[in-house]
Every structure is written in structure tokens, then in C-alpha cells.
Structure 1
Amino acid sequence: MKETKKENAEKLPRFGGQIGFVLSSAGCAVGLGNLWRFPYLAARDGGGIFVLVYLILAVTFGYTMLMTDIVIGRKTGRSAIGAYENIHRRWKFVGILVFIVPALVMSYYGVIGGWVTKYTALFLTGHIAEATQEGYFTEFITDPGAPAVYGIVFVFLTLLIVLGGVKDGIEKSARIIMPALAVMMLVVSVFALTLYHTDEVTGEVRTALQGLKVYLIPDFRNLTAERFFQILLDAMIQLFFSLGIAMGIMVTYGSYVEKKVDLNRSVNYIEIFDTGIALLAGMIVVPTTFVFYGIEGMTSGPGLLFISLTNVFHTMGNMGTVVGTAFFFTAFFAALTSSVSIYEAVVANCMEIFHVSRKKASIVLFFIYCGTTVLISLGYSIFYFELPLPNGAQGQLLDIIDYFSNSFMMPLVSLLTCILIGWVVGPSFVTEEIEVSGLPFRRKRMYVFMLRYIAPAMMAVLFLQSTGILKMLIGYG
């Protein structure tokens, strides 16, 4: 016999209030992509042009998709699989896809978290010089043992927080970590803007303020229609991944939110926190890298964090050790809060599917993810191989799983969600829930228009681009 909605609601864990929900959700949204991908894209895509496009997308597309995920969770009181089945029985398969995404992401997130843990430990113990030796990062990740050990430590820390539950684990840690992360980012960004460097060969003096200019002031000199489309695509992808859309996380967190919480204000705060951290990261990374290497020194992905910035901090001497330690602490916090959110999404679904306790689901998943962390870390050594991906890149084990979960499944899930809510059950499914607190939904018209027309089109383009189909159709992507 099925439980009634009232019985189910009574058993659900709850956030303590709006602040706890916002900080926990911001912890999900603020991840390593804010620290290493956002600054790189901003520097590559014309500085202020990318930032401007990103901000516009954040208050339109990002707001729409984030609000949709949260409302699905709060209105149904279920995690992904149960939530989509509750909305429409025939669309349960979308909930299954949503569940698969975080399950796959968590399988390799411990590996990346282990890298951050290792470098945080290096800075804490004063071994910054060791970390800057040529080829050190490559030697570390190709070691068959060390990356797995650090990865397991990282997954264990994630487990400890999730075992504490929603209020005493996730929310309590977020109330401490997120303000601390914001303060450290602000302090480091202010310091970064005071830097300057004189080139020993040319005598050229580069200042952080010059780098800030590159970062924030739009460069329209070489802007073509094709380049603007690429900037738009880059900003959309960054925002899509940054907010944790289509991973079931916000659906799960939404199910923990009381009806009295103002979702309008909460979503605004989450976006402000996430975007603010991304902008601060850019204020640290772009000017700092510009000072010591020029704009040509900006690289993407792990190389920016573990090689370029590590060398910059070493060049700065004793002060670099202090600043570098603070920066890697922020990276560690960002990785940990995101990991907790991903892990919680998987745990919550397993609790519903298998009718088990939080403790049992969390511990069983811990051993599973320890296994995947070891396996995927060995993908850089014993199990190393490369395969061509549909987006044109070459990938090994981690890249393949990352591509399938992020570039293939997430845009597909978002597209199907837009169709389900926008056209099958209707936007009123969301708008009525937002207004249940008695407050008006002032952005209703924008939300409905984005949900039914713009967001599905954007998701379709993103899906076609990531799968290589767009390139086959129009020769671009």
C-alpha cells in the first residue's frame, strides 16, 4: 500500500529555514568549475563580453532551470525518480536518467577531490617548492597508489557530513563552510589586485589592475557572429554545470524545503552567491596569472589550478605560501560542498528505492565509490587508454564518464524536463507552487516564456553541439 503524501511529508528531513537551504544549495552550485573554468573562459572569450552574457543568462535561463528543479522537489516531496513518477507516471524514465547523472559524477568526483586534498596538504605543510617541480602534477596523478588514497580520504570526509543528515550534517557544515569560503575568496581577491611583476628580459611591468581590465572590460575588436555564438555557448555550458542543473541535487534539496520558504528570494540568493564566487575567482585567477605569465598563461582545467597558479604562488615567496594556502582551502571547500550535494542526491534516491536508512545507504555507497575512485584514478596509470569523443576531444576513463554524464545526459535531461513541465503538465505546476507562500511570482511571464520556448531551444543546441551533431549539420561546434 502506497504512503499518502501527508505521511511521506512527515518523514522527510527538513532544512532549518531559508538560510540553511540557500547556503546548502550554494554549496552545491559553488564548485571547482567556478575556480578553474569560469576565469579561463572569461579570459579567452573577450573578458567583459563573456561576463555580461553570463550574467544575462544567469537571471533568465539559469533562474528558470534552477527554479524548476527546486519546485519539482518541494511540490512532490520526493527525490528524482519518485518526483518525476509523481508528476507523470509515463515520465518516470526521466527521473531515472536524473538519478544516473549524479551516480556517475560521484564515481569520479572523489578522484578530483583527492587532487585538491593533496595540494591543500602540500601548501599546509610548506611543500610548495615540491609542487612546482616540472612534471610534478603528472607524476602524481600517474602514480598507481597516492591519488587513490587521497581520493578515498576525500570521499570519507564527504560520507561523514552526509551521515549527519540534512539539518545536522549538510546544513550545519554549509553554515560554516560557505561564509568562510566567501570571506577567504574576498580577502585573496583583494590581495591579488595589489600584485605587479617586472619582466627580467623586456623590463615590462605588468600589474594586476591591467589583468583586471582584461577580465572585466569587453573586447569587441574581433567579435564576429560566429565568435559571439561560441561565447554564448560557453557561457550557457558554464552556467548549466555551475548551478547543478539536471543532476537531481536541487530536486532533492527542494524536497527538504518548508512550504513557508519564499522560493523567489531563495533562488535569487543562490544565484547571487554562486555568481559572486565565480566573479571573485576570476578576480583572483585572471589578474594573478596575467601578472606573472601574461594572458597567454591562462589554461583550462586542472592545469590552471595545479600547475599555473601553483607556480604563481611559489614565485610570490613567503606571501605566496600564505595566499596559496588560503586559495587551496577555498578550492577544497568548494570541492567538498559539491561532493556532499552529489552524494546526498544519490543517497536520497537509494533510500527511496530500496527503503533503507540513511546510514545504510551512505555506508554502502561509500564502499562503492571507494572502488570507483581507485579504478578511475588508475585510468591515468595502469588502465590508461584514450578514445575519441563525439565532441572531438580525446578522453581517458575519467573524461569518458564526465562526457557521458555532463555533456550528453545533462542537456538531454533538461530538455525533457522543459517539455514535461512546459508542455505536458503545464507551467502552472511550478507557478502555483511558488505562490503557495502567499507572495506573488513577479517573474512569472519571463519564467513561462523561458521554460516553454527559449530553454528547450538552448538545451537542444547544447545537446547537438556536445554530441557532435551540430558540427555535422552546419559545420560548427
Structure 2
Amino acid sequence: METQTKQRNSFSGSLGFVLASAGSAVGLGNIWRFPYLAAKDGGGLFLFVYLILALTFGFTLLITEVTIGRKTQESPLTAYKKINPKWGFLGIFSFIVPFLIYPYYCVIGGWVLKYAFSYLAFQGSVAVENGYFGGFITSQWQPIFYTVLFAALSFIIVYKGVEHGIERYSKILMPILVIIVVFIAAYSLFISHTDDSGATRTGLQGAAVYFIPSFKGLTFKGFLTVCLDAMGQLFYSLSIAMGIMIAYGSYMKKEVNLNKSVNQIEIFDTGIALLAGMMIVPAVFVFSGKEGMSAGPGLMFITLPKVFNSLGGIGEFIGLIFFVMVLFAALTSAVSILEAITSSMIDKFKWSRRRSAVVMAASTFVISVIVCLGYNVLYFEQKMPNGSIGQILDILDYLSNNILMPIVSFLTCVLIGWIAKPKTAIDEITRNGERFIRKGLYIVMIKVIAPVLLFVILLTGLGLF
């Protein structure tokens, strides 16, 4: 039986914490959701709003969760009760979120793995055929097979523990991911294409669409939509309200500069998100124009393979390294989600890491299979309160991202801002005499502004705003 002591302060230092946390933050949301929203919401306008919110709203929620973890040395399920005995219920919510997200995240990770294998086998040209993606996800056994492979990779890393599993693999995967992202982003800027009408579009023109703000037809309601999209994206980008940062914070050594580490995560994550946009927006613009960006979630599995196919022989290679990069990003995020629920079992029931990882991986895999079957034998359509229509995967995504995550973050702000008081967090942030430059901003955000914004996000998710 492993002892509780082995589960805490296990990151070797600041670098291990930052890379693991950044790996969690840099996931599928950064790779396809961020570029899609940027293109939809006026390019540079979305980027400007996102950066402002990342430095204020996102920073407040991120540093609060890391602080709760390090202060209590507990996982999300048990940490809130240690802050205030009457708030243990919030830990249950914080556990449910990653428990709901992990199963369908593994399914999507399986989709990425399928495409990576396709390009590895020089079958990228097949991936552009109409109905390829739909045919794959609606088949009964293929999605389950690839989900098993992806989930197994995540399980092995978590099973090995924090320092020898999560930290070690993050130090390998994250540098490789950055190199690939930079390469594809640079390559996208210099491609060009002439369509049937004789019009030529270049990657640099696509970059202009991405970076230069567009105010054409912008209304107050439209600007509000941009702000809500940017706030929603921050949940994906910074792994907020998933219990992840509480778990990772609990593994941070007390002598590590917490504020500096969180700043580094912000910089790393925002940089990758911007580069993801540079990878995708110019390339899609060159071959599909602005209309191509309307693909939304289908952008990565339907539109981009067509872009790679248009590049000729090198397209197979670009497609391969792109999906390998997405696979790395998905894997580092999946590992952090599984770790959040695994650590909760360790702290709540005093189980060993091995037992906790096996139980959580097995129970969530059952849900993953149900999600896969939701596109064939268990197929049905459900309309959500916000007007969206979807299957089992979409329902789990809606419940976790539109309802539970805003509730968790809202109540966390109430707990730290009004019940335990901001001093509880600030004392932990500055425990080694560190300077907290954004202290005043933090107090205002945690007490007033962040709760209001989160309440608006919740109302929007419920279709009431």
C-alpha cells in the first residue's frame, strides 16, 4: 500500500509543475476551438478580448485553484472541505466535472489517433473523401478500438505516478509539441492557392484575417457574444473548474514561487493558442476562404484534411505531424483529467495510486463505450436548453462545460472571496515573501467581477440570457 506522503509535493520543481500544467491547458480546445472562435468572432477583436480576459478573469480563477491545491495539499474532492468544513459539497461538484469530461475526451482522442494512423499509413488522401469522418464515428467497433488505445496511453502515464509518469512525459511531449506547432504555423504563412475563378489567396492574407480586428457589422450584442465566447474558451484553455489545477497545485512544493509559475502557465498556454490559430486560420483561408472557418468542430477532422490534400505530396507529411501534435496535446490534457479523479480517490478513500487509477480508468471507460455507441446503436438527438442539438457526447459536454463548470467556478469565487476571504489565498501565494503585483486586481476580481461574469455564463448556458 502506498502511503499518502508519496502522493504530495511530487513535482521535482517549478519546471515540472509548469510543463505538466501547461500540458493540461494545451489540449484540443486550443487546437481547434480557439482558431474557430477567433475566425468567427472578428479575428483580432477576439484575440484582444481573450488576452484581456486571460490576464484578469482567467488568471484569477487559475491562481485560485492552484492555491487551494497547494494550501490544502488535497485533491479537488477533499480540498474544499479543508478550506471550510461546510463547503465539502463543492468538492463533489469539482470531482463530477472531470469524471464526465474524461470519457468523451478519450473518444475524441481516439478520433485523433485514427487520423494520425491514417497519415502514418500514407492514407491521408482517403481522409478527405466525403463521409469519411461520419463513416468512422458511426461504425460500431472502430471508434471503440481507438478509444481503448488512447485511454490506455493516458492510464499508463497516470499509473506511473506524478514525478515518474506525468512530469516525465510532460517534459518529453511538451517541447516536441511546441516545435511542431511553430513549424506548421510558419509553414502556413507561406502557402498560396489559386482557385477556379483565378483568385489567389496567400497565408499572409489569412494571417491578416486572424490578427487584424474586424468591426464590420459589429453590434453590442455581437460584442457581448465575443466576450462570452472568449470567457468560455478560457475554461478549455486554462483547465479551469475541472479539478485539475487543484490536484496539480497539491503536488507543488511549498518553496516554489506559485505566482511566477502561474504566470508562466499563462504565457505558455496563450502562446500555444495564438500559434494554433496561425497554424489553422491561414491554411484554411488559403484553400477555403473565410467560409471554410464556419466548419466549427468539424474543422480538424473534415476541413483540415482537405487542406493537407491540396498541398500535394508534402500534404501527407504535414498532415502526419499535425495529427501527431494534436495527439500529444490531447494526451497531456487527458492525463491531467484522469489524474484529477484518481487523486480524489487516493485522498478520499486512502487507496493506493494503482487501485485508484484502475478503478477510475475502468469506470470511465464504460462511459466512453456508451459515448461511442451514441453515434450508432444508441443514437438519438437531444435539444439542450441553450438551443444546441446533440448526442450523448454533446450532452456530457453541455452538462460539464455549460452548467457544472460555471457553477464550480462561481462557488469557488464565493468561498474564497467572501467566506474564507481573499487573504486565505494571498497568504499562500506570498508565503515565501514573493511579491504579488496583481494583488489588488485579484481581490476585485475574486469578490465581484469574476462571480458576475460566471453567473452570466451560467445563464447563457441555460438559455436564459
- Assess if the C-alpha contact under 8 Å between 2:7 and 2:251 holds in 1: no
**Percent identity, aligned pairs only?**
50
Amino acid at match of 1:37: R
Q: Does 1:137 align with 2:142?
A: no
How many angstroms apart in 1 are the aligned matches of 2:123 and 2:8?
A: 46
Compared with structure 1, are the counterparts of its residues 445 and 24 closer, same or farther at alpha carbon in structure 2 (3 Å cutoff)? same
Instruction: Give 1:240 deviation, angstroms.
Output: 2.0
How many angstroms apart in 1 are the aligned matches of 2:212 and 2:246?
A: 37
Amino acid at match of 2:30: N
How many angstroms apart in 1 are the aligned matches of 2:144 and 2:34?
A: 27
| Aligned counterpart, 2:246 | 251
Larger displacement relative to structure 2 (232-241 or 412-421): 232-241
| Aligned counterpart, 1:99 | 95
- Assess if the C-alpha contact under 8 Å between 1:192 and 1:284 holds in 2: yes
Q: CA offsets, 1:153-179, max 9 Å, x none?
A: 100000110111000000000001011
| Aligned counterpart, 1:308 | 303
Q: CA offsets, 1:359-399, max 9 Å, x none?
A: 11111222222222211100000000011101101111111
- Assess if the C-alpha contact under 8 Å between 1:40 and 1:299 holds in 2: yes
Amino acid at match of 2:180: M
Amino acid at match of 1:166: V
Report the TM-score, using the length of structure 1 for normalisation.
0.95
Instruction: Give 1:469 deviation, angstroms.
Output: 1.7
Q: CA offsets, 1:221-267, max 9 Å, x none?
A: 32221111111111111012211111110000000001111111111
How many angstroms apart in 2 are the aligned matches of 1:284 and 1:399?
A: 26
Larger displacement relative to structure 2 (244-253 or 7-16): 7-16
Amino acid at match of 2:78: G
| Aligned counterpart, 1:423 | 418
For 2:193, what is the secondary structure of its paired residue?
Answer: strand
Q: Does 1:399 align with 2:394?
A: yes
| Equivalent residue for 2:312, pick from 309, 317, 323 | 317
How many angstroms apart in 1 are the aligned matches of 2:97 and 2:273?
A: 23
Q: CA offsets, 1:129-150, max 9 Å, x none?
A: 1111110000000000000010
Q: Does 1:364 align with 2:324?
A: no
How many angstroms apart in 1 are the aligned matches of 2:313 and 2:256?
A: 47
Instruction: Give 1:355 deviation, angstroms.
Output: 1.7
Matches within 5 A, 1:279-318: 279-318=274-313
Amino acid at match of 2:56: T
Matches within 5 A, 1:28-427: 28-200=24-196, 202-427=197-422
Amino acid at match of 1:386: E
- Assess if the C-alpha contact under 8 Å between 1:28 and 1:341 holds in 2: yes
Q: Does 1:467 align with 2:462?
A: yes
- Assess if the C-alpha contact under 8 Å between 1:36 and 1:300 holds in 2: no
Amino acid at match of 2:120: L
Amino acid at match of 1:152: V
How many angstroms apart in 2 are the aligned matches of 1:102 and 1:285?
A: 28
Amino acid at match of 1:106: Y
Instruction: Give 1:13 deviation, angstroms.
Output: 4.6
How many angstroms apart in 2 are the aligned matches of 1:428 and 1:337?
A: 33
Amino acid at match of 1:322: F
How many angstroms apart in 1 are the aligned matches of 2:360 and 2:428?
A: 33
Amino acid at match of 2:72: T
Q: CA offsets, 1:378-433, max 9 Å, x none?
A: 00000000111011011111111110011100001100000000000100011000
Q: CA offsets, 1:187-217, max 9 Å, x none?
A: 11101111000112x1001001111000000
How many angstroms apart in 2 are the aligned matches of 1:25 and 1:189?
A: 23
How many angstroms apart in 1 are the aligned matches of 2:438 and 2:51?
A: 17
- Assess if the C-alpha contact under 8 Å between 2:99 and 2:364 holds in 1: no
Instruction: Give 1:9 deviation, angstroms.
Output: 5.7
How many angstroms apart in 2 are the aligned matches of 1:99 and 1:300?
A: 32
Q: Does 1:23 align with 2:19?
A: yes
Compared with structure 1, are the counterparts of its residues 99 and 125 closer, same or farther at alpha carbon in structure 2 (3 Å cutoff)? same
How many angstroms apart in 2 are the aligned matches of 1:261 and 1:352?
A: 23
For 2:55, what is the secondary structure of its paired residue?
Answer: helix
Compared with structure 1, are the counterparts of its residues 300 and 427 closer, same or farther at alpha carbon in structure 2 (3 Å cutoff)? farther
Amino acid at match of 1:245: I
- Assess if the C-alpha contact under 8 Å between 2:80 and 2:90 holds in 1: yes
Amino acid at match of 1:468: G
For 2:215, what is the secondary structure of its paired residue?
Answer: coil
Compared with structure 1, are the counterparts of its residues 150 and 11 closer, same or farther at alpha carbon in structure 2 (3 Å cutoff)? closer
Instruction: Give 1:11 deviation, angstroms.
Output: 5.4
Number of equivalent positions = 463
- Assess if the C-alpha contact under 8 Å between 1:197 and 1:206 holds in 2: yes
Unpaired stretches in structure 2, ≥5 consecutive residues:
none
Amino acid at match of 1:77: Q
For 2:201, what is the secondary structure of its paired residue?
Answer: strand
- Assess if the C-alpha contact under 8 Å between 2:4 and 2:350 holds in 1: no
Report the TM-score, using the length of structure 2 for normalisation.
0.98
